[in-house]
Amino acid sequence: MIVMGWPEKSRERGFYYLFPGLKASGKLVYGQEEIPVGGTAWFDRQWGQFSETSWDWFSLCFFDGRQMMFFAFPKT
């Protein structure tokens, strides 16, 4: 569980989970042409009650398979 918004507001709790590095494949259709595509995907879900309506989010995926995610909740 992560706390979003102001920590002193105990009712503001958010939940977050993620599945990084999923295999993805599909096709792009352009006119009559179908182009196969593939790679890795990132799936995440977040929900809860919080008053912050924006945050900064950044993710890095390295060639050796390591992944990092950073986020910050700006206080205005």
Give the count of domains, the chain.
1
Neighbours of 4 (CB within 10 A): 20
Say if 4 falls within a structural domain: no
Q: Is the pTM of this model over 0.95?
A: no
CA angle 35, 40, 46 (to 5 degrees): 120
Position 55 scores a pLDDT of 74
Contact present, 18 and 47 (Cβ < 8 Å): no
Say if 1 falls within a structural domain: no
Say if 25 falls within a structural domain: yes
Say if 40 falls within a structural domain: yes
Range of the domain at 59: 14-72
Say if 6 falls within a structural domain: no
Q: Token pair for residue 22?
A: 């999923």
pLDDT tens digit string along 21-35?
A: 889 999 999 999 999
pLDDT tens digit string along 38-74?
A: 988 888 887 777 666 667 888 888 889 888 888 776 6
Neighbours of 8 (CB within 10 A): 7
Position 52 scores a pLDDT of 61
Position 41 scores a pLDDT of 86
